[in-house]
């Protein structure tokens, strides 16, 4: 326990140093203009990192699989569908695009509604196991991705160029007016989710053991799935989809912290996520000179790490 506390302190120090470096390094022009802009970006990174970390760790606990993430349920694909449909039928000059509040609210509502419908009709622990829900989510996500690709092929080229800026995560043009809303959703979700942490600690022992120890397993699973969807929807609507971030930070947290306590794992994964986002954005700004985006870097590293985890699991099975 003391070792884990020391590790958390070290990660917190690294995160603070990364944030200070990002906010203060090579500020050009007026400090009063540039510094607040960088602080806004850091706030967006903290919100996104903590939301994805919490959603992924808890999601992997209820699915008992460290290779799965909430993005595999098709939530990210639903975001792409919403944005593509808006640009295709209404255009980039429509109120659904111009009004960031409306676009943000519509995106979150669509993603959460998609998840609720999926859980409502497919999640029946006594009849259908959770793996059926995961399989259905992956299939629907693939179908939605195909729909997005089809619409993008026939969309107006000018509208397509505007659409692309929304389908890749970027912290350069943070929706400042939406930060407060995202913070409120995040805090409310964490307050609600804090009460589930002890149950999640027990649920890591498996379904039968958790039920024998008095945990209302199916009810907690449904709560976690809905909460994960809300958090992923919020982070995605704020900055765009980052597919592999949750996979990277959750598995690094499992390896770095030898514990079953979700209070430690979630805080650790959140700090690793913040370090990855702030550090990655620092590289995008000062090394790659904005020639790429943070999502491209994270998805590239995450894809390689995903392959490594699959090979690792196959060797264990063999």
Give the dihedral of Cα atoms 143, 147, 152, 154; nearest 10 deg: 140
- The Cα 153–Cα 145 span in angstroms is 12
Of 295, 223, 236, the closest CA to residue 107 belongs to: 236
Check: CB of residue 94 under 8 Å from CB of residue 103.
no
The predicted pLDDT at position 122 comes to 62
The predicted pLDDT at position 78 comes to 82
Q: What are the chain's domains?
A: 2-317 (1.10.3470.10)
Collapsed DSSP state (helix, strand, coil) of residue 234: helix
Length of the chain in terms of residues written? 318
From first to last of its 318 residues, what are the pLDDT tens digits of the chain? 678 889 999 999 999 999 998 888 877 767 777 888 888 889 988 999 999 999 999 988 888 878 778 877 777 788 888 888 888 888 888 888 888 788 888 888 888 888 777 777 665 555 556 667 667 777 888 888 888 888 888 888 888 888 877 777 677 767 777 888 889 989 999 999 888 888 888 988 888 888 888 888 888 888 888 888 888 888 888 887 887 888 889 989 998 888 888 889 999 999 999 999 998 888 888 777 766 777 778 878 888 888 887 787 777 665
Of 84, 69, 72, 80, the closest CA to residue 139 belongs to: 72
- The Cα 178–Cα 46 span in angstroms is 14
The predicted pLDDT at position 318 comes to 57
Note the Cα 123 to chain centre separation in Å. 22
- Helix segments in 155-216, DSSP class H: 157-167, 176-194, 197-203, 207-212
- Reported pTM: 0.86
User: For residues 85-122, b (16+ Cβ closer than 10 Å) or e, as one string?
Assistant: ebbbeeebeeebbeeeeebbebbbebbbebbeebbeeb
- The Cα 314–Cα 318 span in angstroms is 6
């Amino acid at each position: 326990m003391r070792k884990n506390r020391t590790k958390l302190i070290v990660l917190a120090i690294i995160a603070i140093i990364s944030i200070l470096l990002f906010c203060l390094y090579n500020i050009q022009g007026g400090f009063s203009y540039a510094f607040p802009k960088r602080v806004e970006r850091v706030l967006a990174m903290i919100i996104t990192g903590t939301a994805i970390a919490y959603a992924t760790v808890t999601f992997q606990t209820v699915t008992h699989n460290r290779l799965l993430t909430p993005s595999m349920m098709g939530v990210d694909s639903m975001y792409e569908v919403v944005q593509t449909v808006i640009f295709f039928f209404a255009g980039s000059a429509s109120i659904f695009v111009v009004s960031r509040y409306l676009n943000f609210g519509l995106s979150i509502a669509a993603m959460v509604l998609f998840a609720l419908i999926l859980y409502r009709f497919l999640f029946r622990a006594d009849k259908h196991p959770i793996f059926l829900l995961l399989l259905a989510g992956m299939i629907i996500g693939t179908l939605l991705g195909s729909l997005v690709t089809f619409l993008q092929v026939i969309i107006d080229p000018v509208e397509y160029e505007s659409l692309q800026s929304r389908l890749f995560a970027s912290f350069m043009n943070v929706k400042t007016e939406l930060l407060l809303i995202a913070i409120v959703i995040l805090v409310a979700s964490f307050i609600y989710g804090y009460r589930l942490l002890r149950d999640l600690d027990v649920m890591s022992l498996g379904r039968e053991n958790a039920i024998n120890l008095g945990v209302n397993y199916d009810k907690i699973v449904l709560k976690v799935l809905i909460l994960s969807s809300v958090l992923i929807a919020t982070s995605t609507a704020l900055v765009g989809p980052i597919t592999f971030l949750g996979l990277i930070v959750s598995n690094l947290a499992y390896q770095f912290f030898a514990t079953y306590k979700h209070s430690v794992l979630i805080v650790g994964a959140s700090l690793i996520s913040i370090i990855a986002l702030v550090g990655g954005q620092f590289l995008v700004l000062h090394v790659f000179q904005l020639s790429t985006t943070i999502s491209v870097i994270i998805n590239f590293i995450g894809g390689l790490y995903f392959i490594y985890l699959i090979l690792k699991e196959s060797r264990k099975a063999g």
